[in-house]
Structure 1
Amino acid sequence: MTKELEFIDLSVSTGEKSLLFKARGALRAGELVAVVGRSGSGKTLLTKAIIGLLPQSLQTEGQILLDGQRLDQLTDKAMDAVRGRRISMLFQQPKRVMNPRLTIRAHLLEAIGARGWNQAREHEDQVLSMLEEVGLSPAADVASKRPDQLSGGMAQRAMLAIALAADPEFILADEPTSSLDSILKSEVLQLLRRKQLERGVGVLFITHDIATVQHIADRVVVVSDGQIVDHCPTAQIFSKDRHAKTRELVEAALPAQREPRTEGSECLLESVAASKNYTRRAKGPAALKPTTLRLHSGQVLGVVGRSGSGKSTFARLLAGLEKPTTGQIINQHQPENATRVQIIAQEPYSSFDPRLSLRTSLSAAVHRLPESQASERIARAMVQVGLSEDLLDRTPGQCSGGQLQRMAIARALLTEPQVLICDESTSALDSVAQRHILDLLLELREKMGLSLVVISHDMEVIRYVSDDVAVFFEGELVEHRPLADFLSKARHQHSKELVAALDLTAAIATSG
């Protein structure tokens, strides 16, 4: 008999406000079901409600059944026997949920249920085998490390090994690839799918990106505003007669359709053999090796690379937030007129003071102007980013991620920059909000003549916005080419891997 995890009329509320309303569905062993939707749609609430990890301030109604057994009626102690053993969880940021004081070996032994020194020795071969199974080697070396000593991709693989350790029947995966670069995302997805098929595990995969799961999911469930609005086999999700919210997610995953802009004649910023070394007396490995690159008027430069490749260091040098160890950044190609550069941070919530109103935060950028002129410039910036001035009287916590990211762009526009540097500025957003922000940036480029430097580990973002692509690898600029040439004739091995991680078949665009 096929094992089944089922939820019936599952609702979550806080006070009188409904967060999840009468969700119904089932997950069978051996299948992978994707739950997709925008940020705040209720996807994660559904997952935590199933496994019983919701905060006590939330009220839950409905039935949760595992092979007919009512999980919602179990005590906390009884649920502890279910979590990890029958139902495992894959978290979005594994380093935050792992114990930073324990080694990966200790985490695996705990998941297996091994207690004491003798049992640890007896299960050593099993620990090493599980790490090798998820592609972590040398396994003995990885087992002895703490979570903070692993890269993002290694930590996610280790989390998968922990989730599989007790041989569970089901895995709930909550956006496990959202913080990974394109190559690691592809690797982890393929690994998860392979292990799911080999072991016959049922996987509920939470994501905001339909394109991520189109080749691995058996079925897709679409959640919007706390309700399941669509449910069908994956092959049907791209047809034109689906629910409006489904089409919105699909359209946000479409590949770029615009033509790259030709290079302008005016050079605004130039990096001439600029490098950065943060080690004492610059004796250690450089964070950024000597880099030569030019940014022209109206150009969109996509900067891509894995975590630690030197992308953000390069951005800080261009913005003047750091001084190069060697070489120079030239931002003054006209006498007495330096190029005005602004940088937009990755995480919008951390770039605003949570105690201050947004009006106060934006006013700080134009505090030297007369009050009437400053107010006029703030009002104009709000119009440019498509926000109501009413939002200025809110605090950051009272805004959505998309609203706050637009507010960060509005603040950057207050100084009337010529260059905007967007350092992973859409990575915290769902795919729909991300597309809206990217379209806004491109619109501002057209209307205001801005040049954009878009830094991302997501090749879909780079493909959508870029005229030219700069690839960084291990602190070095290894490739700099027009987008079309890069996608069709990548030269460096890392560039080829980035392109290979993309879905270039245009299956979404031509379906339906």
Structure 2
Amino acid sequence: MTRELVFTDLCVTSARKSLLSTVSGSLQAGELVAVVGRSGSGKTMLTKAIMGLLPAQLELTGQVVLDGQRIDQLKSQDMDQVRGQRIGMLFQQPKRVLNPRLSIRAHMLEALGAYGWGKSRLHEAKIHSLLEEVGLFPAAEIAGKLPDQLSGGMAQRAMLAIALAADPDFILADEPTSSLDSTLKAEVLQLLRSKQQERSLGVLLITHDISSIRSIADRVVMVSDGAIVDQCSTTELFAEDRHPLTQELVQASLPATHPGREVSATALLQSVEAGKNYTRKAKGPAALAPTTLTLHTGEILGVVGRSGSGKSTFARLLAGLEKPSTGQIIAPEGTTEIPAVQVISQEPYASFDPRLPLRTGLLAAVHRLPAEQATDEIMQALAKVGLPPELLERKPGQCSGGQLQRMSIARALLVKPQVLICDESTSALDSVAQRHILDLLLELREQLGVGLVVISHDLEVIRYVSDSVAVFFEGRLVEHRSLGDFLSSPEHPHSKDLVAALDRSGPVQPAR
């Protein structure tokens, strides 16, 4: 009998509105189906509904059938036997999901159902075999590490090994590569595809990144506003007669560059041998080795590197959020005051108080001004980022990711910064919302002349906006060149890997 996971007429409702509306589909063993759509479209809600992980306040109707058995009606204890053993799960940020106090070995033993010292020893060879299967070496050393001791790519591989431990028939993967750089993203997706084919698994891959699934998915399902609006084979996805929302997402995922722009020779902010060491008495390895770099007026500096490479530490030094252990951050020659710097964070939800309306969050930036002037400043900032004033009365949870990211940019503009630092500010957004935010940053650079430092693990983002590129690797600045020179002739081995990972299969689109 063919192993199959079928969901029919799934509806998820809250007291206020419908979150998922009559969604139906199927997943057979041996195929990889990608579920794509914009942020907030209902993709993750679908996986939670299938796995029985919806919050208690939400109501589910419809059917979920696994190999002929309805699992949506199972009791909690019985459903626990389905999760992991028959349907595995890969999450977006493994370090947040895995228990930080348990070793990778302990997580795998739990997945294998092995408890007690004697049984643990019997499964040691199996654990090593699984870790090696997903490319983690040396397996014995990795098994003993805690999740936080692994890099992002290693943690995602470890989670795949944990998911495979119980030998499930199906795996639901919810944005498993969104926090990884281009090279690691390609590696993890190819690994997932190879394991899916070797084990004849059925994989449901949730993603907002269409470009990443072109070479691995068998079918694609497009979700919008909690409903399936389009589905087809991957080869048909890029046809011109597809649903308008599909075409919009495809178009936004195509590689693009903005027209070249001559960078001003006027220095705006300088790092002179600035480094940071967090270890006791600076005796351990530094988070950032002494770094010298100059940001010029109106320049967009793209900063790339793997997790732990030192790029965010460098940004914190530029912003004055950390004091350098060595060297200094200085104003340009001929001035004494360091220019105003604002940081736009990766997770806008975390930068606003969830209990307060957004108006209160923006007022905090202009609280010293008279009330009427403060209101005028806020309205001007909203106009610059293209947001309607009525959003000010909403709380953060009532806005989309793109709206909230624009709101965080508006708040940053209220203090009239000369430098904006965008630390992975678009990594959690779908390709359409991401392109809108990047276009906004380009417009602000033209209108206000601000210098931009764009930190990203996605080289497509760097290619789209940057004038120059700084590459960090293992705590060091290893390359700093103009965008054109970097893309045409990267020098450092890590730079070469990043450029090689760029998807050049589609035509490069000029930015607006």
Please classify the TM superposition score into its range, dividing by the shorter chain length: over 0.9
Please give the alpha-carbon distance, in whole angstroms, between the structure 1 residues aligned to 2:401 and 2:178.
15
Shift of 1:78: 2.6
Partner of 1:36 in structure 2? 36
Supply the RMSD in Å over aligned alpha carbons.
Answer: 1.8
Task: Give the TM-score of the pair, scaled to structure 1.
Answer: 0.95
Partner of 2:452 in structure 1? 452
Partner of 2:27 in structure 1? 27
Partner of 1:172 in structure 2? 172
Please give the alpha-carbon distance, in whole angstroms, between the structure 2 residues aligned to 1:226 and 1:162.
30
Shift of 1:499: 1.3
Q: Is the 8 A contact 2:315 2:421 kept in 1?
A: yes
Please give the alpha-carbon distance, in whole angstroms, between the structure 2 residues aligned to 1:93 and 1:336.
43
3-state secondary structure, aligned to 1:316: helix
Q: Is the 8 A contact 2:257 2:465 kept in 1?
A: no
Partner of 1:378 in structure 2? 378
Shift of 1:336: 5.4
Please give the alpha-carbon distance, in whole angstroms, between the structure 1 residues aligned to 2:169 and 2:507.
32
Shift of 1:115: 3.2
Shift of 1:490: 0.8
* Paired AA for residue 169 in structure 2: E
Partner of 2:13 in structure 1? 13
Query: Are residue 259 (structure 1) and residue 293 (structure 2) matched?
Result: no
Please give the alpha-carbon distance, in whole angstroms, between the structure 2 residues aligned to 1:489 and 1:332.
30
Shift of 1:304: 0.5
Q: Is the 8 A contact 1:250 1:508 kept in 2?
A: no
Partner of 1:96 in structure 2? 96
Shift of 1:157: 0.8
* Paired AA for residue 133 in structure 2: E
* Paired AA for residue 373 in structure 1: Q
Q: Is the 8 A contact 1:32 1:217 kept in 2?
A: yes
* Paired AA for residue 141 in structure 1: E
- Structure 1: gaps (5+ residues): none
Instruction: Map 1:64-463; keep pairs closer than 5 Å.
Output: 64-335=64-335, 338-463=338-463
* Paired AA for residue 333 in structure 1: E
Partner of 1:466 in structure 2? 466
Q: Is the 8 A contact 1:32 1:205 kept in 2?
A: yes
Please give the alpha-carbon distance, in whole angstroms, between the structure 2 residues aligned to 1:111 and 1:337.
57
Superposed CA offset, 1:43-102 (max 9, x none): 111111112222222222222222222222333333222221121111112222223332
Please give the alpha-carbon distance, in whole angstroms, between the structure 1 residues aligned to 2:467 and 2:171.
41
Partner of 2:489 in structure 1? 489
* Paired AA for residue 100 in structure 1: P
Please give the alpha-carbon distance, in whole angstroms, between the structure 1 residues aligned to 2:99 and 2:472.
32
Please give the alpha-carbon distance, in whole angstroms, between the structure 1 residues aligned to 2:257 and 2:52.
44
Distance 1:274 1:437, change over 3 A: same
Shift of 1:201: 0.5
Q: How many residue pairs align between the two structures?
A: 510
Please give the alpha-carbon distance, in whole angstroms, between the structure 2 residues aligned to 1:125 and 1:337.
61
Please give the alpha-carbon distance, in whole angstroms, between the structure 1 residues aligned to 2:55 and 2:372.
47
- Structure 2: gaps (5+ residues): none
Distance 1:381 1:509, change over 3 A: closer
Task: Give the TM-score of the pair, scaled to structure 2.
Answer: 0.95
3-state secondary structure, aligned to 1:81: helix
Please give the alpha-carbon distance, in whole angstroms, between the structure 2 residues aligned to 1:346 and 1:398.
18
Please give the alpha-carbon distance, in whole angstroms, between the structure 1 residues aligned to 2:271 and 2:44.
43
Shift of 1:507: 6.0
Distance 1:67 1:407, change over 3 A: same
Distance 1:412 1:59, change over 3 A: same
Q: Is the 8 A contact 2:32 2:202 kept in 1?
A: yes
Q: Is the 8 A contact 1:85 1:167 kept in 2?
A: yes
Please give the alpha-carbon distance, in whole angstroms, between the structure 2 residues aligned to 1:336 and 1:431.
41
Q: Is the 8 A contact 1:268 1:333 kept in 2?
A: no
Please give the alpha-carbon distance, in whole angstroms, between the structure 1 residues aligned to 2:508 and 2:231.
18
Between 499-508 and 264-273, the greater mean CA deviation after superposition: 499-508
Partner of 1:499 in structure 2? 499
Between 412-421 and 92-101, the greater mean CA deviation after superposition: 92-101
Query: Are residue 52 (structure 1) and residue 44 (structure 2) matched?
Result: no
* Paired AA for residue 297 in structure 2: S
3-state secondary structure, aligned to 2:72: helix
Shift of 1:341: 2.1
* Paired AA for residue 91 in structure 2: F
3-state secondary structure, aligned to 2:34: strand
3-state secondary structure, aligned to 2:346: coil
Please give the alpha-carbon distance, in whole angstroms, between the structure 2 residues aligned to 1:9 and 1:77.
25
Q: Is the 8 A contact 2:331 2:338 kept in 1?
A: yes
Superposed CA offset, 1:467-498 (max 9, x none): 11100011111011111221121110111111
Please give the alpha-carbon distance, in whole angstroms, between the structure 2 residues aligned to 1:279 and 1:247.
50
Shift of 1:334: 4.0
Partner of 1:477 in structure 2? 477
Q: Is the 8 A contact 2:255 2:507 kept in 1?
A: no
Please give the alpha-carbon distance, in whole angstroms, between the structure 1 residues aligned to 2:166 and 2:272.
54
Shift of 1:367: 2.6
Please give the alpha-carbon distance, in whole angstroms, between the structure 1 residues aligned to 2:53 and 2:361.
36
Q: Is the 8 A contact 1:297 1:451 kept in 2?
A: yes
Distance 1:360 1:11, change over 3 A: closer
Superposed CA offset, 1:176-203 (max 9, x none): 1111222221111111111111111010
Shift of 1:338: 4.1
Please give the alpha-carbon distance, in whole angstroms, between the structure 2 residues aligned to 1:375 and 1:334.
35
Please give the alpha-carbon distance, in whole angstroms, between the structure 2 residues aligned to 1:48 and 1:416.
42
3-state secondary structure, aligned to 2:82: coil
Please give the alpha-carbon distance, in whole angstroms, between the structure 2 residues aligned to 1:471 and 1:333.
25
Distance 1:82 1:372, change over 3 A: closer
Distance 1:268 1:507, change over 3 A: closer
